[in-house]
C-alpha cells in the first residue's frame, strides 16, 4: 500500500545570524594632543646606527647659492615682539611648573647648538646622555626646565627624513621641552630642492599646537609651539631673545643691513621692541640674546659676524637696555669672551659643540696654541675655550645672578663639575 505523503514541508529551524564582535579601535600611541609630550616613559639603549643612511652631501653643496639669503618667515600673530612662555610650553602643567620654579628661587636650563651629526649617532648621543643625567638631581631646584637649542638641528639641509636620527632619537629620554632657533643648515636649500627653506624646522618647532609629526617616527615627543624663528622666550628669572641669522656659512645676517641685503628689518624691530619692554618694565631678570652665528669667534672654520653684531648693538642702544649675555653656536667648539660696553661686562658664549664635527681654534704667533685670557682689543678678551670635546651649557639663574657653566660630555654622568663657568651679577652688570 502506497504511503500517504503530505504536501506540507516542515519549516527549517533558523538561528540569528552571528556577527563578529565589534572590534575596538586600537588607540594611537601618539598624543592627539594637545598637551605636550617630551621624553619617552622608559629608557632604551642608545642607537648604534642611523635608521636612514646619510650619504655624502658634497654634490648637493655644489648646487647651493653661497651668497643668497632666504626670506624670514612671518611670526604667528603679527606682534612686533612674539612671545612664548614657559607656562605655554608645558601645557596644562604649565602653571604648576612656573609656580615650582618661582618657589625654588632659581631656574636651570641647557643650551647648545650644532647637534646634528651626519656620520652616526655616537657624538650627539654622548652630549644628550650627559644632559639627561642632569635630571637626576638631589634637589628638584637643580633639575633643568628646558633646553634652548642654538640652531643646526639637522644637517645638511634641514631635511625632514633626517629629523628622527639627528633630533628625536638622540633626545628621546630628555624629559623637558626643547625650544629652538634655526641655524643656517636648518634653512639652507640647493637648486632643485623640493622642500622650501625651513620647512621641517617650522613643522617641528613652530607648530600652532603640540602634535606628533611624522618626522618623529615612533617616538612620542610632540612639536614645539614657538611663534616663529624669532621670538622672546619668557620664563621665571630669564628672558631669551632668539633671532634667526639666516643660511650663509658666514656671516650671520639678521636684517637688510642698511638695504644691502634682500631682507626686511623685522628682526631688528623685534630686538628693539623686546629690549625696550625690558627697559620700560624695569625688568630685573637675566636677558640673553640667542643667535646661531657668533658675533665673535676664534675658530678656524668660521669667522665672526661684525655687521650682525652692529645690528644687535643698535637695537640695544635704541632701547637703552643691553643683554646680560649673548649665546651662539655655529663654530663647532666652546668659546667664552668678555666684552666691556659702557662699563658693563657682557659674556659672549659660543657653544656649537653639540655633536657635529669639532673644529679647532686658530693659533697665535708661530703657530702656538692661544693662552687665555687672550686680549683681542681693549674691549674684548677671549677668556676660555675647548676645541677638543663635545659639550653643552648648563645655566642657573636666580633673582641676583646668572651662572653659565660649560660641561664637556666626555666626563660622563658621574661628574658634575664644569670645566668653565662665569657668573653675572644682574644688577651690577659685572662678572666673576
What is the arithmetic mean of pLDDT over 328-341? 98
Whole-prediction pTM value? 0.92
pLDDT score for 5 = 41
pLDDT band at 21 (very low <50, low <70, confident <90, very high): low
DSSP 10-29: PPPP--PPP-PPPPPPPPPS
Please write the tens of the pLDDT for every residue from 249-259. Answer: 999 999 999 99
Asked whether residue 12 carries a pLDDT value surpassing 80, the answer given is: no
Is the CB of residue 178 less than 8 Å from the CB of residue 147?
yes
Cell of 189: 636649500
Q: How far is CA 243 from CA 50, 75, 306, 364, in A?
A: 31, 11, 16, 32
Tell me the C-alpha distance between 127 and 148, whole Å. Answer: 14
Please write the tens of the pLDDT for every residue from 260-285. Answer: 999 999 999 999 999 999 999 999 99
pLDDT score for 22 = 52
pLDDT score for 3 = 40
Please write the tens of the pLDDT for every residue from 216-241. Answer: 999 999 999 999 999 999 999 999 99
Domains of the chain, start order: 58-64+77-431 (3.60.21.10)
Picking from 2-11, 43-52, 117-126, 354-363, which range would have the lowest pLDDT averaged per residue?
A: 2-11
Tell me the C-alpha distance between 181 and 241, whole Å. Answer: 10
Amino acid at each position: 500500500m502506497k504511503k500517504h505523503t503530505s504536501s506540507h514541508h516542515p519549516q527549517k529551524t533558523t538561528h540569528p545570524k552571528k556577527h563578529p564582535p565589534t572590534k575596538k579601535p586600537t588607540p594611537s600611541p601618539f598624543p592627539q594632543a594637545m598637551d605636550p609630550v617630551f621624553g619617552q616613559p622608559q629608557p632604551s639603549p642608545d642607537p648604534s646606527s642611523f635608521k636612514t643612511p646619510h650619504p655624502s652631501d658634497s654634490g648637493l653643496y655644489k648646487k647651493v647659492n653661497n651668497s643668497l639669503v632666504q626670506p624670514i618667515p612671518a611670526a604667528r600673530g603679527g606682534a612686533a615682539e612674539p612671545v612664548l612662555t614657559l607656562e605655554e610650553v608645558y601645557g596644562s602643567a604649565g602653571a604648576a611648573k612656573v609656580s615650582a620654579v618661582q618657589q625654588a628661587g632659581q631656574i636651570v636650563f641647557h643650551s647648545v647648538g650644532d647637534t646634528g651629526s651626519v656620520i652616526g649617532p655616537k657624538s650627539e648621543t654622548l652630549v644628550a646622555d650627559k644632559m639627561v643625567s642632569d635630571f637626576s638631581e638631589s634637589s628638584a631646584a637643580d633639575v633643568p626646565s628646558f633646553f634652548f637649542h642654538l640652531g643646526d638641528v639637522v644637517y645638511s639641509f634641514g631635511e625632514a627624513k633626517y629629523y628622527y636620527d639627528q633630533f628625536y632619537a638622540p633626545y628621546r629620554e630628555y624629559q623637558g621641552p626643547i625650544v629652538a632657533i634655526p641655524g643656517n643648515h636648518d634653512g639652507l636649500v640647493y637648486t632643485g630642492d623640493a622642500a622650501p627653506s625651513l620647512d621641517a624646522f617650522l613643522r617641528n618647532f613652530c607648530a600652532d599646537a603640540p602634535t606628533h609629526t611624522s618626522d618623529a617616527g615612533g617616538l612620542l615627543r610632540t612639536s614645539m609651539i614657538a611663534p616663529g624663528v624669532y621670538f622672546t622666550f619668557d620664563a621665571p628669572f630669564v628672558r631669551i631673545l632668539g633671532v634667526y641669522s639666516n643660511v650663509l656659512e658666514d656671516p650671520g645676517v639678521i636684517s637688510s643691513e642698511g638695504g644691502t641685503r634682500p631682507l626686511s628689518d623685522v628682526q631688528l624691530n623685534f630686538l628693539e621692541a623686546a629690549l625696550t619692554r625690558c627697559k620700560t618694565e624695569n625688568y630685573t631678570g637675566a636677558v640673553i640674546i640667542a643667535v646661531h652665528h657668533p658675533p665673535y669667534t676664534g675658530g678656524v672654520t668660521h669667522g665672526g659676524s661684525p655687521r650682525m653684531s652692529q645690528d644687535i648693538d643698535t637695537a640695544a642702544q635704541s632701547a637703552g637696555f643691553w643683554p646680560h649675555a649673548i649665546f651662539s653656536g655655529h663654530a663647532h667648539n666652546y668659546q667664552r669672551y668678555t666684552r666691556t660696553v659702557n662699563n658693563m661686562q657682557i659674556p659672549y658664549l659660543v657653544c656649537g659643540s653639540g655633536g657635529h664635527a669639532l673644529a679647532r681654534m686658530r693659533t697665535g704667533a708661530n703657530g702656538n696654541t692661544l693662552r687665555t685670557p687672550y686680549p683681542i682689543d681693549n674691549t674684548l678678551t677671549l677668556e676660555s675655550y675647548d676645541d677638543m670635546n663635545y659639550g653643552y651649557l648648563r645655566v642657573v639663574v636666580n633673582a641676583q645672578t646668572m651662572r653659565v657653566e660649560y660641561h664637556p660630555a666626555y666626563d660622563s654622568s658621574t661628574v658634575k663639575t664644569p670645566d668653565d663657568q662665569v657668573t653675572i651679577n644682574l644688577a651690577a652688570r659685572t662678572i666673576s
